[in-house]
Protein backbone atom coordinates (compact mmCIF):
# COMPACT_ATOMS: atom_id res chain seq x y z
CA UNK A 1 0.00 0.00 0.00
CA UNK A 2 2.75 2.41 1.01
CA UNK A 3 4.92 1.46 -1.95
CA UNK A 4 2.04 1.86 -4.41
CA UNK A 5 1.26 5.33 -3.03
CA UNK A 6 4.91 6.32 -3.27
CA UNK A 7 5.34 5.11 -6.84
CA UNK A 8 2.10 6.67 -8.09
CA UNK A 9 1.99 9.98 -6.22
CA UNK A 10 5.45 11.13 -5.08
CA UNK A 11 6.62 12.57 -8.42
CA UNK A 12 3.26 14.26 -9.18
CA UNK A 13 3.22 15.86 -5.72
CA UNK A 14 6.71 17.24 -6.30
CA UNK A 15 5.77 18.36 -9.80
CA UNK A 16 2.49 20.07 -8.88
CA UNK A 17 3.46 21.78 -5.61
CA UNK A 18 5.88 24.54 -6.54
CA UNK A 19 7.68 24.91 -3.19
CA UNK A 20 9.93 21.90 -2.64
CA UNK A 21 9.70 21.99 1.16
CA UNK A 22 5.91 22.19 1.08
CA UNK A 23 5.80 19.31 -1.41
CA UNK A 24 7.91 17.15 0.91
CA UNK A 25 5.71 18.01 3.89
CA UNK A 26 2.57 17.23 1.87
CA UNK A 27 4.01 13.87 0.82
CA UNK A 28 5.05 13.02 4.39
CA UNK A 29 1.63 14.00 5.78
CA UNK A 30 -0.26 11.89 3.26
CA UNK A 31 2.17 9.01 3.71
CA UNK A 32 1.80 9.17 7.50
CA UNK A 33 -1.96 8.72 7.18
CA UNK A 34 -1.51 5.84 4.77
CA UNK A 35 1.21 4.27 6.92
CA UNK A 36 -1.14 4.26 9.92
CA UNK A 37 -3.85 2.52 7.89
CA UNK A 38 -1.33 0.04 6.47
CA UNK A 39 0.03 -0.81 9.92
CA UNK A 40 -3.47 -1.37 11.30
CA UNK A 41 -4.31 -3.55 8.30
CA UNK A 42 -1.21 -5.71 8.79
CA UNK A 43 -1.89 -6.00 12.53
CA UNK A 44 -5.52 -7.00 12.01
CA UNK A 45 -4.50 -9.56 9.38
CA UNK A 46 -2.08 -11.04 11.89
CA UNK A 47 -4.60 -11.10 14.72
CA UNK A 48 -7.58 -12.05 12.56
CA UNK A 49 -9.01 -15.53 12.10
CA UNK A 50 -7.56 -16.11 8.60
CA UNK A 51 -4.13 -14.49 9.14
CA UNK A 52 -4.13 -12.91 5.70
CA UNK A 53 -3.44 -14.52 2.36
CA UNK A 54 -0.09 -16.08 3.26
CA UNK A 55 -1.28 -17.62 6.52
CA UNK A 56 1.25 -15.76 8.65
CA UNK A 57 2.01 -12.06 8.77
CA UNK A 58 4.53 -12.00 11.64
CA UNK A 59 4.99 -15.52 12.90
CA UNK A 60 2.41 -17.66 14.64
CA UNK A 61 -0.93 -16.17 15.59
CA UNK A 62 -0.86 -14.84 19.16
CA UNK A 63 -2.84 -16.79 21.73
CA UNK A 64 -3.01 -14.16 24.47
CA UNK A 65 -1.88 -10.79 25.68
CA UNK A 66 0.69 -9.39 25.92
CA UNK A 67 1.49 -10.43 22.39
CA UNK A 68 4.90 -12.01 21.95
CA UNK A 69 6.87 -10.88 18.91
CA UNK A 70 10.42 -10.61 17.74
CA UNK A 71 12.13 -7.22 17.91
CA UNK A 72 13.73 -8.08 14.58
CA UNK A 73 10.29 -8.32 12.94
CA UNK A 74 9.28 -4.93 14.23
CA UNK A 75 12.63 -3.40 13.31
CA UNK A 76 12.58 -4.81 9.79
CA UNK A 77 9.02 -3.50 9.23
CA UNK A 78 10.17 -0.05 10.33
CA UNK A 79 13.35 -0.20 8.24
CA UNK A 80 11.52 -1.21 5.07
CA UNK A 81 9.00 1.58 5.54
CA UNK A 82 11.78 4.09 6.27
CA UNK A 83 13.46 3.14 2.99
CA UNK A 84 10.14 3.56 1.15
CA UNK A 85 9.62 7.02 2.72
CA UNK A 86 13.16 8.13 1.88
CA UNK A 87 12.70 6.93 -1.70
CA UNK A 88 9.42 8.84 -1.78
CA UNK A 89 11.09 12.05 -0.62
CA UNK A 90 13.68 11.52 -3.34
CA UNK A 91 10.92 11.13 -5.91
CA UNK A 92 9.23 14.31 -4.66
CA UNK A 93 12.52 16.16 -5.10
CA UNK A 94 12.81 14.65 -8.59
CA UNK A 95 9.30 15.87 -9.43
CA UNK A 96 10.19 19.33 -8.16
CA UNK A 97 13.36 19.32 -10.27
CA UNK A 98 11.41 18.29 -13.37
CA UNK A 99 8.86 21.07 -12.80
CA UNK A 100 11.59 23.70 -12.43
CA UNK A 101 13.39 22.42 -15.50
CA UNK A 102 10.18 22.58 -17.52
CA UNK A 103 9.51 26.14 -16.32
CA UNK A 104 13.05 27.18 -17.32
CA UNK A 105 12.57 25.70 -20.81
CA UNK A 106 9.30 27.58 -21.24
CA UNK A 107 10.95 30.81 -20.14
CA UNK A 108 13.89 30.26 -22.51
CA UNK A 109 11.61 29.50 -25.46
CA UNK A 110 9.39 32.54 -24.87
CA UNK A 111 12.42 34.87 -24.52
CA UNK A 112 14.26 33.50 -27.57
Q: How confident is the model at residue 106 (pLDDT cuts 50, 70, 90)?
A: confident
Nearest to 17, CA basis, from 95, 86, 104: 95
Q: Output the DSSP codes for the chain.
A: -HHHHHHHHHHHHHHHSSSHHHHHHHHHHHHHHHHHHHHHHHHHHHHSSS-TTTS-SSSSPP-SSSPP--HHHHHHHHHHHHHHHHHHHHHHHHHHHHHHHHHHHHHHHHH-
Instruction: Give residue-wise pLDDT tens across range 53-68.
Output: 555 556 667 777 787 7
- What is the reported pTM? 0.79
Instruction: Give residue-wise pLDDT tens across range 7-18.
Output: 999 999 999 998
Instruction: Give residue-wise pLDDT tens across range 44-103.
Output: 877 776 655 555 556 667 777 787 777 887 888 889 999 999 999 999 999 999 999 988
Task: Name the more confident of 24 and 102.
Answer: 24
The residue ranges of every structural domain in the chain are 2-106
Task: Name the more confident of 27 and 55.
Answer: 27
Amino acid sequence: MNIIFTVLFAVPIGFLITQRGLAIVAYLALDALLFTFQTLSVLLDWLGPTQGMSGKAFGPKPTGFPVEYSNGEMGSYGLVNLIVVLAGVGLVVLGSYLARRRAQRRTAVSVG
